[in-house]
């Protein structure tokens, strides 16, 4: 029994060994065909160039087809500058993919430069290339053949007025449009409507024309006698009031007849008694129709209209001929009426224009704010700078790259004799002065000793001392690290102070001093502006966001 048990155990052990061997055989192919490590190689076509020439920096990556490869982008080859980057080729080789990218690099200053290792990410895993030492040689100039000239002086450039003319053109165009609308709707002589043409006729002609229209109306057909007689009496009363100068519209029938009889007796109106009696009967019939709801026959209504027409004609013939004095008075009256209408149109147009101006101003103030509207209309210096044409340029050596509202002007700076022994060159540029509502300046200093370390404390202290000499008091100073676009680190010194103005007032001023440097040089940017000036704050933010420096001296 014991021997059988031992034999069974040995058989089980042999089975486990066989299974383990088979499993290992299955796994071996997997290990043998697993992904190999990617390969990264970099090379340059030359290690020596002249100023402005280009070198070709080629990066070659050998990887699997499924690998995700990211090449360097942007100015990662500093201190050399990237001119362009070209994806050269993609080659398949033994189930591998070979990717190549070529960068054209250059440098415009002579010296020895080190191209830093470049980072290539493959499946988010970093790989680094080797660094290269590049020599940039000066271009030899044969001064015996090529004449040398002095540096030309600065030339005054006229301020660009394109934006100002553009704004003036828009304002002029808006005024022309508004003036055209005012003229078209209020000042010009509009074509007269039919009603206006009738109103312009003499009283007699107008009355005859209106009686003809009444004859062709549908009042009698539609059984509207009240409207018919109302219009009939209004026509004749209006005529008498205008041509005979009798207050007929507001008079009762008896009062109107009495006035006509008085004019007849005075010899001012030569009418027969029968005409006045006929007119009285028609007025009485009209009163019965309008107030007692009487309804005469249609033939009587038509006859009454004809009788009124004859009364108008006889009255017109009975009037004495107007004297020259009367004609002049009528002409002056018409002229005065014309002038009065024209003045009314002008006043109406002015009132509408003033209303549009007030409403537009109110809307602008509500939407944009009173300060913004006031500064736009009357012009605020820093708002004009902020919205003007900005200038991006490099200043000094080593260069300071800035975007500013206006170009910085080179300054001739004199420094003490003891300083001259240390400083090789000082290049300073500025816009405005520290006591203005806004100023910005940039300066680069190179030392005679190229290995000299920059003294930031002394440079910042010198600038603050300059502030004090110009009258800045109660200076508060803070300091923090500042990083440019290209990740160059510097020192930002900022704070506030108070300037006493000549009129006795004082204003609070803010400042920022940006300091950078390396072996043999120091760079500084100084910005000052009034506290509370929101336009200046936006200018400063934009300048700081554009600030960049080159640290290769």
**Predicted confidence band at 340 (pLDDT cuts at 50, 70, 90)?**
confident
**Average confidence (pLDDT) over 252-270:** 85
What pLDDT was estimated at residue 57? 92
Say what the alpha-carbon torsion angle 458, 462, 468, 470 is, to the nearest 10 degrees. -170
- Report residue 515's pLDDT band, with 50, 70 and 90 as the boundaries: very high
Looking at every residue in the chain, the average pLDDT score rounds to 79
How much is the average pLDDT of 108-118? 87
Give pTM, 2 decimals. Answer: 0.42
Query: What DSSP string runs through 306-374?
Result: HHHHHHHHHHHHHSPPPPHHHHHHHHHHHHHHHHHHHHHHHHHHHHHHHHHHHHHHHHHHHHH-HHHHH
Q: pLDDT: is 357 or 311 the higher one?
A: 311
Count of other CB atoms within 10 angstroms of residue 134: 22
Q: Output Rg (C-alpha) for the chain, integer angstroms.
A: 50
CATH topology of domain 194-323: 1.20.120
Q: Between 16 and 294, whose confidence is greater?
A: 294
Over residues 509-536, the mean pLDDT reads: 89
35: left (phi over 0), alpha (psi -120 to 50) or beta: beta
What kind of fold does domain 381-549 have according to CATH?
Protein Transport Mog1p; Chain A (3.40.1000)
How far are the Cα atoms of 21, 90, 276, 388, 530 from residue 385, in angstroms, in the given order?
82, 51, 86, 5, 14
The pLDDT, as a whole number, for residue 392 is: 87
pLDDT value of position 1: 40
pLDDT band at 492 (very low <50, low <70, confident <90, very high): very high
* Residue 519 reports pLDDT greater than 60: yes
The pLDDT value recorded for residue 368 is 57
Query: Is a pLDDT exceeding 70 seen at residue 89?
Result: no
Mean pLDDT along residues 61-65: 86
Mean pLDDT across the stretch 367-396?
A: 73
What average pLDDT does the segment 544-551 reach?
Answer: 85
- Mean pLDDT to the nearest integer, 484-510: 84
Of residues 31 and 498, more confidence is placed in: 498
Q: Other CB atoms closer than 10 Å to residue 402's CB: what's the count?
A: 22
Residue range 62-84: average pLDDT?
85
- Give residue 268's pLDDT: 79
The per-residue pLDDT for 376 is: 61
pLDDT at residue 230 greater than cutoff 70: yes
Determine the distance from the C-alpha atom of residue 243 to the mean position of all C-alpha atoms in its chain, rounded to a whole number. Answer: 64
Superfamily classification of domain 39-137? Immunoglobulins (2.60.40.10)
Q: What pLDDT is recorded for position 146?
A: 60
Report the Cα–Cα distance between both ends of the chain, in Å, rounded. Answer: 95
Q: What SS3 string covers 42-55?
A: EEECCCEEECCCEE
Residues 123-131: what's their mean pLDDT? Answer: 87
Which residue would you say has higher pLDDT here, 319 or 289?
A: 289
Name the more confident of 445 and 153: 445
Mean pLDDT of 68-78: 83
For residue 346, the model assigns a pLDDT of: 77
Q: 44 falls in which pLDDT band (50, 70, 90)?
A: very high
What are the structure tokens assigned to 110, written together? 């002579």
Per 3-state DSSP, the chain is made up of helix, strand and coil in percentages (nearest 5) of 45, 25, 30
Residue 125 and residue 9: Cα distance in Å, rounded?
A: 51
pLDDT for residue 447: 81
DSSP 470: T
Residue 43: pLDDT band (50, 70, 90) is: very high
**If pLDDT is split at 50, 70 and 90, which confidence band does 477 have?**
confident
Spatial separation of the C-alpha atoms in residues 12 and 123, rounded to whole Å: 46
Q: Which helix (H) or strand (E) holds 37?
A: none
Which residue carries 């053109």 as its tokens?
A: 169
Integer CA distances (angstroms), 495 to 397, 458, 483, 503, 512, in order:
28, 18, 18, 25, 7
Percent of the chain with pLDDT over 70: 77
SS3 512: strand
User: Which range has the worst mean pLDDT, 417-426, 461-470, 490-499?
Assistant: 417-426
pLDDT category of residue 162 using cuts at 50, 70 and 90:
low
Average of per-residue pLDDT across 411-439: 79
| 193 pLDDT more than 50 | yes
Using alpha carbons, select from 548, 526, 523, 527 the residue that is nearest to residue 538. 527
33: pLDDT strictly greater than 50: no
Q: Are 136 and 110 in contact (CB under 8 A)?
A: yes
Per-domain boundaries in the chain: 39-137, 194-323, 337-368, 381-549
Q: What is the pLDDT of residue 32?
A: 36
């Amino acid at each position: 029994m014991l021997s059988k048990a031992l034999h069974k155990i040995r058989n089980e052990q042999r089975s486990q060994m066989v299974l383990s061997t088979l499993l290992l055989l299955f796994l071996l192919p997997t290990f043998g065909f697993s992904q190999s490590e990617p390969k990264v190689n970099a090379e340059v076509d030359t290690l020596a160039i002249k100023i402005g020439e280009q070198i070709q920096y080629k990066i070659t990556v050998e990887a699997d087809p499924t690998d995700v490869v990211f090449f360097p982008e942007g100015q990662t080859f500093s201190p050399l500058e990237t001119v362009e980057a070209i994806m050269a080729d993609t080659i398949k080789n033994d189930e591998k993919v070979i990717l190549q990218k070529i960068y054209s690099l250059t440098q415009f200053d002579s010296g020895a430069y080190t191209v830093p290792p470049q980072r290539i990410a493959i499946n988010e895993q970093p790989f680094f290339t080797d660094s290269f030492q590049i020599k940039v040689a000066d271009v030899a100039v044969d001064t015996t053949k090529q004449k040398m000239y002095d540096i030309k002086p600065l030339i005054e450039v006229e301020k660009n007025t394109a934006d100002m003319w553009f704004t003036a053109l828009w304002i002029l165009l808006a005024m022309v449009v508004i003036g055209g609308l005012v003229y078209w709707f209020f000042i010009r002589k509009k074509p007269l409507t039919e009603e206006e043409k009738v109103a312009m006729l003499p009283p007699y002609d107008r009355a005859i024309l209106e009686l003809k229209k009444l004859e062709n109306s549908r009042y009698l057909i539609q059984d509207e006698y009240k409207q018919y007689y109302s219009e009939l009496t209004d026509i004749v009363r209006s005529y008498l009031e205008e041509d005979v100068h009798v207050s007929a519209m507001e008079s009762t029938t008896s009062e109107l007849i009495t006035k006509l009889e008085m004019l007849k007796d005075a010899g001012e109106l030569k009418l027969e008694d029968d005409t006045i009696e006929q007119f009285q009967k028609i007025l009485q019939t009209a009163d019965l129709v309008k107030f007692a709801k009487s309804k005469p026959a249609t033939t009587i209504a038509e006859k009454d209209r004809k009788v009124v027409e004859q009364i108008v004609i006889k009255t017109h013939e009975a009037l004495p001929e107007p004297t020259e004095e009367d004609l002049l008075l009528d002409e002056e009256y018409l002229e005065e009426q014309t002038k009065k209408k024209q003045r009314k149109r002008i006043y109406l147009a002015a009132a509408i224009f003033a209303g549009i101006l007030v409403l537009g101003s109110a809307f602008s103030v509500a939407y944009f704010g009173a300060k913004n509207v006031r500064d736009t209309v009357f012009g605020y210096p820093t708002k004009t700078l902020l919205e003007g044409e900005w200038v991006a340029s490099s200043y000094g050596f080593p260069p300071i790259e800035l975007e500013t509202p206006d170009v910085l002007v080179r300054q001739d700076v004199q420094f003490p004799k003891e300083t001259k022994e240390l400083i090789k060159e000082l290049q300073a540029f500025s816009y405005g002065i520290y006591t203005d509502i806004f100023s910005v300046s940039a300066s680069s200093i190179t030392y005679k000793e190229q290995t000299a370390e920059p003294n930031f404390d002394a440079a910042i202290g010198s600038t603050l001392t300059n502030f004090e000499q110009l009258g800045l008091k109660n200076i508060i100073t803070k300091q923090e690290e500042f990083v440019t676009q290209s990740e160059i680190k510097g020192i930002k010194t900022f704070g506030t102070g108070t300037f006493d103005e000549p009129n006795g007032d004082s204003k609070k001023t803010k400042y920022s001093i940006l300091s950078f440097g390396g072996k043999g040089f120091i760079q500084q940017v100084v910005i000052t502006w009034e506290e509370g000036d929101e336009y200046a704050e936006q200018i400063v933010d934009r300048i700081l966001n554009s600030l960049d420096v080159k640290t290769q001296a």
